[in-house]
A and B are shown apart, each in its own frame.
Chain A
Amino acid sequence: DVKVTQSSRYLVKRTGEKVFLECVQDMDHENMFWYRQDPGLGLRLIYFSYDVKMKEKGDIPEGYSVSREKKERFSLILESASTNQTSMYLCASSPSGTGQQFFGPGTRLTVL
């Protein structure tokens, strides 16, 4: 079974803090993704990566950055957290060319 893990299930941070969310997958998938999910807005793509050190902006990259130094690990960074970044953050991985995505359990981030 594909296993995607995320570093925290719940996280509370203060406005202006730098926040790191980590994701690890164990199935040697080429592609990895970061989404946020908000009620009524569905899943929105923040960034994705198709290879080590490669990254592409998704639909809502503003206020976020990512890092992929190893194939199995994809990190999302909030440079200066703001209250409008309070959300559920979901990481996913996917074998190249299939479009089939496997999600981690999610991190519910609250920014106060």
Chain B
Amino acid sequence: QKEVEQNSGPLSVPEGAIASLNCTYSDRGSQSFFWYRQYSGKSPELIMFIYSNGDKEDGRFTAQLNKASQYVSLLIRDSQPSDSATYLCAVNGDTGGFKTIFGAGTRLFVKA
């Protein structure tokens, strides 16, 4: 059974701090990795994707991938109260992009 594991949280950080969200996956053949943000009562929104080892930065967000350790992380710099949401890690193991496995999500709370 392929799995994606996340700490459910809640992770609480003060405004302006760095929030670090982590995810591990079981399928060593996984090829693409995603982070989705889901506000309460809303649908998930894709915010980052990463396909190769290393870091990928987009504004205040940095995704980090370590395939050897089967570990993906999302850093949010200068956290804002509007970042308070559930963050879903997702991993895709097939080249067609069909079978994506989602983690259960980490709830992030940014205190003003």
Contact = CB atoms under 8 A, between A and B. Distances in A.
A43 interface: yes
Contact of B34 (A48, A97, A100, A105): A100
Nearest to B1: A59
Contact of B46 (A45, A50, A100): A100
Central interface residue in A90, A96, A101, A105, by most chain B CB within 10 Å: A101
A103 B45 contact: yes
B46 A102 contact: yes
Interface of B is mostly: loop
B104 interface: yes
A97 B45 CA distance: 19
Interface in A62-112: 90, 94-106
Contact of A99 (B34, B44, B45, B105): B34
A106 B2 CA distance: 25
Contacts of A99: 31-32, 34, 49, 92, 97, 100
A101 B95 CA distance: 14
Contacts of B60: none
Given A94-B97, A97-B95, A100-B49, A43 B43 contact: no
B44 A31 contact: no
A48 B102 contact: no
Given A90-B44, A99-B32, A99-B49, A42 B97 contact: no
A96 B96 CA distance: 6
A95 B104 CA distance: 24
A42 B105 contact: yes
Central interface residue in A50, A98, A102, A105, by most chain B CB within 10 Å: A98
Contacts of A106: 42-43
B34 A90 contact: no
A96 B98 CA distance: 8
A98 B98 contact: no
Contacts of B45: 103
Interface of B: 31-32, 34, 42-46, 49, 88, 90, 92, 95-100, 102-105
Please list the 3 inter-chain residue pairs (A to B) with the smallest Cβ-Cβ separation, ordered nearest first. Answer: A99-B97, A99-B92, A42-B104
